[in-house]
A and B are shown apart, each in its own frame.
Chain A
Amino acid sequence: MHPLAERIQMEFPEGFAKATEWRGDLAVTVRREALHDVARFLHDDPAMDFDYIVHVSSVDWPDDDERFEVVWEFYSIRKRHRIRLKTRAPEADCVVDSLTDIWKGADFMEREVYDMMGIRFRNHPDLRRILMPDDYEEGYPLRKDFPLRGKGWRDTFEFLDETK
Chain B
Amino acid sequence: MKLEDQRTTVYKVDPEHPESPTLPTLRTEELLLNMGPQHPSTHGVLKVVLELEGERLVKSTPVMGFLHRGVEKLAEDGTYHQFIPHTDRLDYVCAMYNNFAYCRAVEKLMNITVPERAEYLRTIVAEVQRIIGHQFWLGTQALDIGAMTVFFYTFRDREILLDWFDELCGARLTTSWYRIGGVERDFTASLLSKLRAFLDYFPPKIDEYVVFLERNRIWLARTKGVAVISAEDAVNFGLSGPTLRGSGVDYDLRKYEPYAAYPKCEFSVPVGKNGDTYDRYWIRVQEMYESVKIIRQCLDQMPAEGPVMAQVPSVTLPPKERVFTNLESMIQQFKLFSQGFDAPPGEIYCGTEAHKGELGFYIVSAGGGKPYRLKIRAPSFIHMGAFDFMSRGYMIADAVTIFGTYDIVMGECDR
Q: Which residues in A have some Cβ–Cβ distance to B below 8 Å?
A: 22-23, 25, 27, 51-55, 57, 59-60, 71, 73, 77, 80, 82, 84, 103-105, 107-109, 112, 116, 129-133, 141-142, 146, 148-149
Can you list, as one digit per residue, whether each of B225-266 has a CB less than 8 Å from chain A (1) or not (0)?
A: 000000001011111000000000101000010000000000
**A59-B77 in contact (CB<8A):** no
A133 and chain B: residue at smallest CB distance: B65
Given A54-B238, A131-B64, CB of A59 within 8 Å of CB of B346? no
Pick from B236, B348, B351: contact of A105, CB under 8 Å: B236
The answer on a CB contact under 8 Å between B236 and A116 is no
In the complex, the number of residue pairs spanning A and B with C-beta atoms less than 8 Å apart equals 97
For the complex, is B144 an interface residue (Cβ under 8 Å from A)?
no
A-chain residues with CB within 8 Å of residue B348 when the two chains form the complex: 22-23, 25
> Does the CB pair B235–A25 fall under 8 Å?
no
A19 to chain B, nearest CB (A): 13
Q: Sample 15 A-B pairs with CB under 8 A, ordered by A number.
A: A22-B347, A25-B348, A54-B351, A55-B360, A55-B377, A59-B364, A71-B375, A103-B237, A104-B386, A105-B238, A109-B385, A116-B72, A131-B65, A141-B70, A142-B373
- A116 to B235 CA separation, bound complex (whole angstroms): 25
Residues of the B chain whose Cβ atoms lie less than 8 Å from the Cβ of A80: 256
Told that A23-B111, A25-B347 touch, could you supply 7 new A-B pairs with CB distance under 8 A? A54-B358, A71-B375, A108-B385, A109-B238, A112-B381, A131-B68, A132-B65
Are A23 and B346 in contact, with the CB atoms below 8 A? yes
Q: A59 — nearest CB in chain B belongs to which residue?
A: B373
Per-position 1/0 for B334-376, Cβ under 8 A of A? 0000000000001111010000001010101000000011010
B39 at the interface (CB under 8 A from A): no
Residues of B contacting A77 in the complex (Cβ-Cβ under 8 angstroms) = 235, 249, 251, 256
Contact of B347 with A27 in the complex, beta carbons under 8 Å: yes
Residues in A neighbouring B68, C-beta threshold 8 A: 131-132
Question: Knowing A141-B70, A148-B76, A149-B77 touch, does A109 contact B382 (C-beta < 8 A)?
Answer: yes
Contact of B72 among A108, A142, A149 (CB under 8 A): A142
